[in-house]
């Protein structure tokens, strides 16, 4: 989750300072909500369980595969 925060603040901030960023509507429609969902899911699991077990790893991999399939269909 720290990497996500760094990317969204530091990296995008630096990039926007160098050159304004235009955002594709698909990013706002799909990627941002999916990102928020995943961050909230992991945060909730960490608060409740204090660690991530194998079943959580499986769920996260499944979420990534769903994300990948939807992206490939959108190309």
Domain ranges of the chain: 23-74
The pLDDT value given to residue 1: 64
The pLDDT value given to residue 50: 74
pTM value? 0.74
Average pLDDT over residues 18-26: 91
For 4-16, letters b (16+ CB in 10 Å) and e give eeeeeeeeeeeee
Average pLDDT over residues 44-64: 88
Integer-rounded Cα radius of gyration of the chain: 15
């Amino acid at each position: 989750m720290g990497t996500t925060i760094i990317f969204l603040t530091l990296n995008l901030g630096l990039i926007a300072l160098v050159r304004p960023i235009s955002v594709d509507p698909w990013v706002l429609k799909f990627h941002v909500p999916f990102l928020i969902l995943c961050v909230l899911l992991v945060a909730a699991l960490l608060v409740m369980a204090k660690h991530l077990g194998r079943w959580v790893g499986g769920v996260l991999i499944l979420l990534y595969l769903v994300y990948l399939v939807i992206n490939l269909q959108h190309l």
